[in-house]
Amino acid sequence: MKAAALSSFGGPEVLTLTEVPEPRAGAGTVRVRVRAAGVQHFDTGIRQGWAPPSVDLTFPVIPGNEFAGVIDEVGEGVTGFSVGDEVLGYTTTKSYAQYVVAPADQIVPKPANMPWDVAGGFTANGLGAHLCLKEMGVHPGDTVLIHAAAGALGTFSVQLARAWGATTVIGTASEANHDYLRSIGAIPVTYGEGLVERVRAVAPDGVDAAMDNAGPDALRASVELVADKNRIRTMLSDEVAEELGVPLLGPGRSAERLAELTELYAKGLIKIHIRQAYPLERAADAHRELETGHGRGKIVLTVD
């Protein structure tokens, strides 16, 4: 099969279209003919040589931790799924390929109204937003602050907070993205110097919870704005969080969380903006685009 794989670590140019053996479904797993795969900063870290815990990065390394496609093999002991089912799910690596094998407890049915590009880039940001907001205790009536709200993770987080009943969601972004944030239900605030004062002007009664997707400065601003540090989480700044006494985000990816999110999508409560869809052979360009740090929405790979 064809895969976007690494034969060495380095810049985007080391990610090339490669012929590799097809994987086969084993006990408790399914094989999926991939239609689309999401592109994450997690993947760019692997490309640069970072190894997730318990993952053996033996070349050729195939990145990719989220995917959508059609089941074409079902392993022994798998129930609830059949050949031909359209699904989306997650792995740790190996999704930038024509076929991926995943445990059956890491996939869910794809909603009929969800396009393939959206499905391929739905899982990782969805589960990240769900885990973070759940640990923050977001509930009806809250005022929630989402830093870097126009990015793929921020976009998901804004909409999920609203779906869970937050009365006010404030999103930080550049002015070019303010209209976009309004369109997904957030009150936009420009990041940078004076952020704390700008947020207080928008939320004079205070901020109940805050999610940092931007970095240390955003996390420090969150500590100034939120009275209870237990209701703050960061996706980027663990060392600073420990210094400030902010709890670290725990693990928690699950098919149950993903199924809850796909149901919200099917009901029209979550919408995903695709910034750019690249064919599999242009995975290096997808990484270049992601690493600019600019633009809003999700980058995905489509698999022919």
pLDDT at 294: 77
pLDDT at 35: 98
HSE-up (13 A, CA, CB side) for residue 178: 8
pLDDT tens column, 256-289? 999 999 999 999 999 999 999 999 999 999 999 9
Length of the chain: 304
How would DSSP label each residue in the chain?
A: -EEEEESS-SSGGGEEEEE-PPP---TTEEEEEEEEEE--HHHHHHHTT---TT---PSSB---SEEEEEEEEE-TT--S--TT-EEEEE-SS--SBSEEEEEGGGEEEPPTTS-HHHHHTTHHHHHHHHHHHHHHT--TT-EEEETTTTBHHHHHHHHHHHHTT-SEEEEEE-GGGHHHHHHTT-EEEE-STTHHHHHHHH-TT-BSEEEESS-HHHHHHHHHHBS-GGGEEESS-HHHHHHHTPPPP-----HHHHHHHHHHHHTTS----EEEEEEGGGHHHHHHHHHT--SSBEEEEE--
Q: How confident is the model at residue 295 (pLDDT cuts 50, 70, 90)?
A: confident
Per-residue pLDDT band for 299 (boundaries 50, 70, 90) equals: very high
Q: From residue 39, how far is each of 54, 120, 153 by CA, in Å? A: 21, 9, 12
Residue 93's contacts (CB-CB under 8 Å, 6 or more residues apart) are 46, 52, 55, 57, 61, 62, 63, 64, 65
Average pLDDT, the chain: 97
- What average pLDDT score do residues 13-30 get? 98
Give the Cα separation of 46 and 198 in Å (integer).
37
pTM across the whole model: 0.95
Query: pLDDT grade, residue 247 (50/70/90)?
Result: very high
Give the pLDDT band of residue 54 (cuts 50, 70, 90). confident
Contact 167, 143 (CB under 8 A): yes
Contact criterion met (CB below 8 Å) for 102 and 91: yes
